[in-house]
Amino acid sequence: MKFLDLAKVYIRSGSGGNGCVSFRREKYIEFGGPDGGNGGRGGDVIVEAVEGLNTLIDFRYQQHFFAQNGKGGTGRLKTGADGDDIVLRVPVGTEILEEDGETLIADMTELGQRVVLARGGNGGFGNAHFKTSTNQAPRRANPGLEGVERTIWLRLKLIADAGLLGLPNAGKSTFLAATSNARPKIADYPFTTLHPNLGVVGVDGAEFVVADIPGLIEGASEGRGLGDLFLGHVERCAVLLHLIDGTSNDVAEDYRTIIDELEAYGGALADKPRVTVLNKVDSLDEDLREMQKEFLEEAVGGPVMMMSGSSGEGVTEVLRALRAEISEDRLRQGAEDAGEDRPWQP
């Protein structure tokens, strides 16, 4: 699985064109004089947040962005042409970082936002510019200024498409670790996850972002446990994945607890599309699986999927169910065939 949220690019702005040394010389015309024009400006390297992109996949194919150099000035006071700018088109939510991968240069949060990453060099003055009353025939002109060269990172901030819900220990982090590049902490005690984690998961050639948030408990909306502030992280998700520990004594009760907290949280969270999954079925024998599934389906009033984040059973089906709830324009294109593996870090 490849991830398309980070790209290293090399940029260079255009150098300015050189100034020109030239004198007017025409037959039968008495007074000549310097007429060397100025060089043109080099092009800038600009980054722009545009619509219709949701990955940095283009930067996998093009990593070098060089703006055009300015043209030199010429005689008859002609200024050289300016070099063309070059524009890096990135999705909204892209951060531009220095070569160190940490220092923020720009945060492209708004559609249409443009930032100049490297200014083109100024053109040099031609000799006409240096004409003074005491020096009527200067023989000097300036060279154009060099362009700026730098290496930058583009990092796309991920917005989760699917959010994980469940009681502590339901196996949320295990699921994320099994399906994505994320490496959340996993342990058999509640509240292992203290901060939300994001991971990119892929199924059938499409990628989307899953958010693993700390477990909710009864009364979370009143601040119990870690509270329900974390639900803010899943508010913008297209779909919620509700995991219920299949080894629990009362799956129906576990289910209700989370739904109650969702409703208490308010907003549209409780109305969001939801996939409900009986998890950890690797620990249940056939009879128990069926029993637990029936209990849960009765509580849900609809179908329930079965899965084991540890053994991988049923995981692909769950991913497909999530994918079906995420609209096509939110899905990222998979890059199964693009380049080699790369870990998710600057």
Binding site for ligand GTP (CB under 6 A): 166, 168-174, 186-188, 190-193, 214-215, 279-280, 282-283, 308-310
| Residue 46 backbone phi and psi in degrees, to 5 | -125, 145
* Distance from C-alpha of 187 to C-alpha of 325, rounded to nearest angstrom: 30
169 touching Mg ion, by CB under 5 A: no
Look at residue 149 and give its three-state secondary structure: strand
CB of 92 or CB of 167, closer to Mg ion = 167
CB of 138 or CB of 214, closer to ligand GTP = 214
Q: How far is the CB of 170 from Mg ion (least distance, A)?
A: 8
180 touching Mg ion, by CB under 5 A: no
CA dihedral of residues 88, 206, 336, 159 (deg, nearest 10):
50
CB of 113 or CB of 310, closer to Mg ion = 310
Q: How far is the CB of 107 from Mg ion (least distance, A)?
A: 29
Residue 279, contacted partner among ligand GTP, Mg ion, none, CB below 5-8 A by kind = ligand GTP
How many of the other CB atoms lie within 10 Å of CB of 92? 18
192 touching Mg ion, by CB under 5 A: yes
Residues 6+ apart with CB under 8 A from 285: none
Q: Of the candidates 193, 248, 257, 308, which one interacts with Mg ion according to CB under 5 A?
A: 193
DSSP-assigned letters across all residues of 84-135: PPEEEEEETTEEEE-TTS-SEEEEE-STT-EEEEEPPPPPPPPGGGG--SS-
308 touching Mg ion, by CB under 5 A: no
Residues in contact with Mg ion, counted by CB under 5 A, come to a total of 4
197 touching Mg ion, by CB under 5 A: no
310 touching Mg ion, by CB under 5 A: no
341 burial via Cβ count (<10 Å: 0-12, 13-18, 19+)? exposed
CB of 290 or CB of 313, closer to ligand GTP = 313
Binding residues for GTP: 166-173, 191-195, 212-215, 279-282, 308-310
